[in-house]
Amino acid sequence: MKALVAVKRVLDYNIKARVKTDGSGVDLNNVKMSMNPFDEIAVEEAVRQKEAGKISEVVVVSIGVAKCEETLRTALAMGGDRAILVDAPENLEPLAVAKVLKALVDKEQPQLVFLGKQAIDNDANQTGQMLAALMGAGQGTFASRVNLGGDEVEVTREIDGGLETVALKLPAVITADLRLNEPRFVKLPNIMQAKKKPLEKMAVADLGVDVSPKLQAVKYAEPKVRQAGIKVETVAALVDKLKNEAKVI
């Protein structure tokens, strides 16, 4: 059984994003980039399923610029078997990413596709669902537990009211939530071994997919800085400020 895992290179979650002075986008110059945390969980789950003998091969894929190779090498160091880098413009829309992944699914014929539930740069939470629709496959989104057996996968998903368990026929798409697992620490020997693992490169044009944008970002802006709060001595003073200054009562 083969699993395809999609990973994205994003601004490291420890770094505070800054908007460019002209408002044309987020400033990514000379800042640390890393694998999207939800995608890291997806890679970890695929590797664990392989270690349990339920998956025979883990193929990791990233869509973007040449520097995405670093992200793929990290995924290989975690336990991926081989990688595919699709050279494409940055900031692809979710539908474009889903179409590229669908073309790779047609090429690789995996039984399972793992993704993070969302990317922390755009928080779209759309790619997995769109891919499942394009594939005509079942989807287990916001997965907190995965039980793979035979030609079926059982996914426990986090919903507003608690937990829901669904059984999906393979092939299927699974998007990882935070509580699915805790990704392993990558050791230096594994990083060195990852450099020797195969990494295939291709252009998005080779897949015959149109990734031209359908949306236009007009402007980027940082949220307004919140003013510090103040303390009041009495309830009457509080009511007065809420009524006459904040004007909320």
**pLDDT of 136:** 96
Assigned domain for 77 exists? yes
The answer to whether the bond into 171 is cis (omega within 30° of 0) is yes
Assigned domain for 229 exists? no
Residue 23 has pLDDT above 90, yes or no: no
Q: What is the pLDDT of residues 129-161, one digit of tens each?
A: 999 999 999 999 999 999 998 889 999 999 998
Total domain count, the chain = 1
What 8-state DSSP symbol labels residue 233? S
Residue 22's pLDDT band (boundaries 50, 70, 90)? confident
Buried b (16+ CB within 10 A) or exposed e, 44-68: bbbbbbbeeebbeebbbbbbbeeeb
Assigned domain for 212 exists? yes
Q: Smallest Cα–Cα separation from 176: which of 15, 49, 34? A: 49
Q: Distance (Å, rounded) from C-alpha 77 to C-alpha 100?
A: 24
Residue 21 has pLDDT above 90, yes or no: no
CB 238 within 8 A of CB 244: no
Assigned domain for 232 exists? no
Distances (CA, A) of 134 to 22, 100, 167: 37, 11, 20
Residue 114's pLDDT band (boundaries 50, 70, 90)? very high
**pLDDT of 56:** 95
Q: Distance (Å, rounded) from C-alpha 14 to C-alpha 192?
A: 25
Assigned domain for 246 exists? no
Which CATH number does the domain housing residue 160 bear?
Answer: 3.40.50.620
Radius of gyration of the chain (CA): 21
Residue 93's pLDDT band (boundaries 50, 70, 90)? very high
Assigned domain for 165 exists? yes
Domain hosting 51: range is 2-223
Q: What is the pLDDT of residues 42-65, one digit of tens each?
A: 999 999 999 999 999 999 999 999
Average pLDDT on 222-239 reads: 88
Q: How far from chain centre, in Å, is Cα 102? A: 16
Per the model's pLDDT, the better-predicted residue between 78 and 18 turns out to be 78
DSSP string covering 119-183 = -TTT----HHHHHHHHHT-EEEEEEEEEEEETTEEEEEEEETTEEEEEEEESSEEEEE-GGG--P
Name the 3-class secondary structure at 76: helix
Per the model's pLDDT, the better-predicted residue between 109 and 27 turns out to be 109
Assigned domain for 47 exists? yes
Q: What is the pLDDT of residues 206-220, one digit of tens each?
A: 999 999 988 888 888
Assigned domain for 103 exists? yes
